[in-house]
A and B are shown apart, each in its own frame.
Chain A
Amino acid sequence: MQTKEALASTPALLLSRLILGGVFIVASWDKILHPDQFAQIVLNYKLMPDMTINLLAIVMPWLELIAGLFLVLGVFVKESAGILAGLLLVFIVAISINLARGLDFDCGCFTSSADQKSASYWLIVRDLALLIPAAHLMVFARSRRPASLPTAQEGPA
């Protein structure tokens, strides 16, 4: 099947890796530099239990950066794409909930300032669009066994 071959081709996979990885590397950077401001944004979303806000603000930007770097470097591609897809789903749900309840909030995606009135619909569309390269990589990227496991029957992805 030609489409399948094209999707599984190295250039197609590379494109998805660079798009998804690049976006998350850029998005993580400002949050890493300003965890206090990012924590305030998480707080402004009013979705997370109080005690988890700072933990999330500390760990999540690094998860984005590491998974993004792995994608660009081509390491653990499926798993990194899976983690970022999970984050995208969380963002989509969080933005949708606040959109539905009309809460004034900011996405906190590329910036760490809490009060830019961003167009929430556009953010949801963008996050949905980013799910495409993520799904592409999860399905078609070549899987690697963890180093310590024997390279047993690995079927074609």
Chain B
Amino acid sequence: MMIHIRNTAIIVVAALIISSLYNGFSGRGIPWFPQKVEVKGAGGIARPQLIVTAAPMKYIEVAEAKVKFDQGVAFIDAREDHEYKAGHVRGARHVAAATSTAEIETALTGFSKDREIVIYCDGEECGASTTLANKLQSLGFTNLQIFFGGWTQWNKAGFPTSCGASRDS
């Protein structure tokens, strides 16, 4: 078994060069380093949140989410099916974060790309809302907000909820 370090290096260097070019010029690139954004969580406590994508999402906390809710802004629940069924923000649509972009487009037929949307998942530590938001961004949606605190905070605050299957899931 004779593995040539030089050949290995050639492969690695090729990957470095091609990926750098692709990341720089393909239009699909992401920043080389993630950015830390201070997000206000429950009780106004600022927490650093790591953002890996180029366009940082707008984060809102529970009080602002309630204002949006009262204004009739669309809510999307990014959690798993069984979690959604167990309880969700009243009127929220269910689009699990794992949904393919094609299926998301079908699920959100009739949504204009600049429509205001609030995405939430379980709570402050869950990546589902960010993952879904990234997908919506790649589909061209521009007015996205992540409700930091999610279901946990909403439920705790005693704001309107409902349970059962979604007409949209």
B108 at the interface (CB under 8 A from A): no
Chain B residues near A36 (CB, 8 Å)? 28, 30, 52-54, 134, 137-138
Q: Interface readout for B122-160 with A: 1 if CB under 8 Å, 0 if not? A: 000001101100110110000000000000000000000
Complex-state Cα separation, A88 to B33, whole angstroms: 24
Q: Which of B17-25, B37-45, B68-76 contacts A (4 or more CB under 8 A)?
A: B17-25
Closest CB in chain A relative to B23 CB, distance in Å: 5
Find out whether the CB atom of B28 lies under 8 angstroms from the CB atom of A146.
no
Tell me the smallest distance from the CB of A47 to a CB of chain B, in Å: 13
- State A50–B35 Cα separation when bound (angstroms): 9
Are B138 and A53 within 8 A (Cβ)? no
Q: Given A62-B19, A76-B11, verify A54-B128 contact (CB < 8 Å).
A: no
Contact pattern, B 1-28, Cβ under 8 Å of A = 1, otherwise 0: 1111011101110111011101100001
Quote the shortest CB–CB distance from A119 to chain B (angstroms): 14
* Set of chain B residues within 8 Å of A63, measured between Cβ atoms: 11-12, 15, 19
Contacts of A83 in B (CB 8 A): 8, 11-12
Contacts of B33 in A (CB 8 A): 51, 54-55
- Name the A residues within 8 Å of B20 (CB-CB): 58
Interface range, B side: 35 or more
> Which of A1-9, A109-117, A121-129 lies on the face that meets chain B?
A109-117
How many residues in A have their beta carbons less than 8 Å from beta carbons of B?
A: 49
CA distance A95 to B130 in the complex (A): 21
Closest 7 pairs (CB-CB, A-B): A39-B52, A62-B19, A115-B97, A63-B15, A79-B7, A114-B131, A113-B98
Q: Who on chain B is nearest to A155 by CB?
A: B2
Given contacts A37-B134, A57-B52, contact A138 B3 (CB under 8 A): yes
- Flag whether B65 is at the interface (Cβ < 8 A): no
Interface string of A77-105 (1 = CB under 8 A from B): 01110110000000000000000000000
Task: Tell me which residues across on chain A come within 8 A of B32, comparing CB atoms.
Answer: 54-55, 58
Query: Given contacts A76-B7, A106-B98, could you give 8 more A-B pairs where the C-beta distance is less than 8 Å?
Result: A36-B28, A53-B52, A58-B29, A67-B11, A79-B8, A144-B4, A146-B7, A155-B2
Residues 30-53 of A, flagged 1 when their CB comes within 8 A of B and 0 if not, give 001111110111111000001101
B30 touches A35 (CB 8 A): yes
Known contacts A40-B52, A113-B131, A117-B80: does B29 contact A35 (CB below 8 Å)? yes
Residues of chain B within 8 A of A80, CB atoms compared: 11
Which of A79, A143, A144, A146 is the most central at the interface, judged by chain B CB atoms within 10 Å of its CB?
A79
